[in-house]
Chain A
Amino acid sequence: MNIINLLTQGVLLGGYYALVACGLSLMFGVMRIINLAHGDFAVLGAFLAWTVSDSADISPFLALVAVLPVMAVFGWLVQRGMLERSLRAGMLVPLLSTFGLAIVVENLLFEAYGADTRSLAPMIGDLSFGSWAITDQFNIGYLAALIFALAVLLLGGLSLFLKHTPLGRAIRATAEDADTAELVGINSRAVYGIAAGISVATVALAGTLLAMRATFDPYSGPMQLIFAFESVVIGGIGSLWGTLLGGIILGMAQSIGAQFDPRWFLLTGHLVFLAILAARLLAGQVGARGGLRTSLGIDA
């Protein structure tokens, strides 16, 4: 029974990773931008939710109603004001500019909120610690289950949206070939802006949930970026369902590693990530066919 508990906790944790990775996956899939500020946007979302929730004395979930649209607009502005310009200068420049943005966001948060570690857990009552006891050794936490359900809903919903709506089709067409999308009447710059908005809103949601299940401070972002990046790469870049699977694999690896020694929690996750990357490198005959792009699972 212990092993089932262990795997279940891993899967539920993976739901959180998938949620953080969702926006990163979308942004890379559509715009070919690896947003290094992604983790810091999650933390920014968490701080906004904390501020709204604290000052208006409302539940953080209610605060999200205000925070998510604001973060979506923020994402749109970052795309139109910064990423669009840097994309024109080549593949490397967006990487550098998002790295710079990450540092700016971290330090602005530090200026505004100080170095205190916070959590939204006290604001959500027994949701943060309550659980269903299946057996003596097998518990499912309310919040962990909620986060996993949200991850499946979000990634599934986004998948359906991309597949079946006119805007979703326009996003897919632009992702594949932005020049040709323009030639069939799609405003590719608007599509990029919308994709960035969706991406940043989803990561703000993930950040707020992180703040409920754990603690956060202005410098928590980079760690979240690493988890997101690992989930995306394990699952294969550009596939949203793959991202969910990648998150679950990462979560399970960490949970199993921690079982042997709590200090191995992070290390096992990184090792599994590296092992999968190495396996892809070997399987894909990288040098001959597209180098690292193939090994990351990017369609040529």
Chain B
Amino acid sequence: MSLLTLDRLDVRHGLLKAVREVSCDIADGEILALVGANGAGKSTLLRAIAGAHLPAAGRIVFDGVDVTTMRAHNRVALGIALVPEGRRLFTTMTVEENLAVACASGRPGRWSIDTVMTLFPMLRARRKARAGNLSGGERQAVAIGRALVTNPRLILLDEVSLGLAPLVVEGLYRSLHSLFEGGATLVLVEQDLNRVLGVASRVVCMLEGRIVLDGRAGELTRDQIIEAYFGLRRGSGRDDKVQGQP
């Protein structure tokens, strides 16, 4: 059975349709890379799954429960966690407090403040530091840790490598590997194709709010993904846009 089912999901920003009739099944244990150009609707889709943005139409079913109109904090209790774009830490609170605040409302499980500190050893020394005074890499580690301590079954990671030095990104992806052993299901949004293709089992490409490519990571060629990414294959891409926004 699939862990997450999206059924003809429409998400709007005012008049703009950011996500259009997206249907998708994500199986338990899958590592799905969600790729696409800027403005393709990836972040909006993740926010809709997490409950930060309510869809205009369609359904979201998580583990057999219809969560379409459920508020975000209740979805956390069910096991959905989003690491938001731009990290969005509580900057006036310490590293430890950022983790504790998420700990209090999540599910029980293997992740705790202590196991997160073991995963990201650099945080242990900085536990009393204000989140606002951390480096980019440390902030990203706290943001991921904050999602982990809720012991999610589905983790949505939005542009975790954005604004980070390549070496730091390398480290982050290495620690992501250790998450997979925990049996979590991941959706990764990333601009850097090479990076996600290395870890993902499935690739979904979005263009102008729609899914234009969906396949096993091993079976898709890089060219196929790039074509879908920029909409090269679909000569009708522009016409669609005109029809969608009369």
Contacts and interface: CB of A to CB of B under 8 A. Distances in A.
Interface in A142-184: 166, 169-170, 172-173, 176-177, 179-184
Contacts of A183: 50-52, 72-73, 76, 81-82, 84, 88
Interface in B173-221: none
Interface in A169-209: 169-170, 172-173, 176-177, 179-188
A189 to B, nearest CB: 8
Interface string B104-135: 11100000000000000000000000000000
B100 A182 contact: no
B104 A176 contact: no
B193 to A, nearest CB: 27
Contacts of A176: 90-93
- Taking chain A's interface residues, is the majority helix, strand, or loop, or is none over half, making it mixed? helix
Contact of B71 (A170, A173, A182): A182
Interface residues of A, number: 18
Given A169-B104, A170-B104, A180-B84, A185 B51 contact: no
A260 to B, nearest CB: 42
A299 B90 CA distance: 13
Interface residues of B, number: 26
B93 A186 contact: no
B101 interface: yes
A169 B146 CA distance: 14
Contacts of B72: 179, 182-183
A186 B92 contact: no
Contact of B73 (A172, A177, A186, A299): A186
Contacts of A177: 88, 90
A232 B187 CA distance: 45
A185 B82 contact: no
Contacts of A173: 90, 93, 101
Contacts of B150: 184-185
B100 A185 contact: no
B199 to A, nearest CB: 23
B77 interface: yes
Contact of B100 (A169, A181, A299): A169
Contacts of A184: 76, 81, 101-102, 105-106, 146-147, 150
A188 B93 contact: no
Interface in B155-180: none
B7 interface: no
B97 interface: yes
Nearest to A172: B93
Contact of A182 (B73, B92, B93): B73
Contacts of B90: 172-173, 176-177, 180-181
Nearest to A187: B73
A185 B108 CA distance: 13
A180 B104 contact: no
Nearest to B53: A179
Interface of A: 166, 169-170, 172-173, 176-177, 179-188, 299
7 contacts: A166-B104, A176-B91, A183-B52, A183-B73, A183-B88, A184-B76, A184-B106
Interface of B: 50-52, 71-73, 76-77, 81-82, 84, 88, 90-93, 97, 100-102, 104-106, 146-147, 150
Instruction: State the 4 A-B residue pairs at the shortest beta-carbon distance, nearest first.
Output: A185-B105, A185-B76, A184-B102, A182-B72
Given A172-B93, A184-B102, A185-B150, 14 more contacts: A166-B100, A170-B101, A172-B92, A173-B101, A177-B88, A180-B84, A182-B51, A182-B72, A183-B81, A184-B101, A184-B150, A185-B77, A187-B73, A299-B92
